[in-house]
Amino acid sequence: MRRAELTHGQAERLHLFLDLERLGLAQERYPKSIHSARRREAVKLGYSVNECRSDGLEVELTDLLAAYVQAVDEH
């Protein structure tokens, strides 16, 4: 918007598309032609869109924080 490449409405539309794309829902929410157009628009503006539909990363926070918790408990 700052570079006058998008109106506020276009920016909001793109934001929704990118959110749905990130969640893996865009393809089922848009007709094929609209989905393709939104992807092209996002790429043209320098945004990356999901190419692979992989599941999210699952991390056990307790394992990651164990050393920190131990250090805090010792002080």
- Mean pLDDT estimate for the chain: 84
Q: Does residue 1 belong to any structural domain of this protein?
A: no
42 vs 26, 30, 38, 61, CA distance in Å? 13, 15, 6, 33
CA distance 58 to 1: 35
pTM flag (> 0.95): no
Q: Is the pLDDT of residue 2 over 80?
A: no
Q: Does residue 35 belong to any structural domain of this protein?
A: yes
Q: Does residue 40 belong to any structural domain of this protein?
A: yes
* Residue 13, SS3 per DSSP: helix
Query: Which one-letter amino acid corresponds to residue 64?
Result: L
Residue 56 pLDDT: 61
Please write the tens of the pLDDT for every residue from 6-18: 889 988 999 999 9
Q: Does residue 44 belong to any structural domain of this protein?
A: yes
Domain tally, the chain: 1
Please write the tens of the pLDDT for every residue from 23-35: 889 989 999 999 9
Residue 50 pLDDT: 60
Q: Does residue 3 belong to any structural domain of this protein?
A: no
Q: Does residue 54 belong to any structural domain of this protein?
A: yes
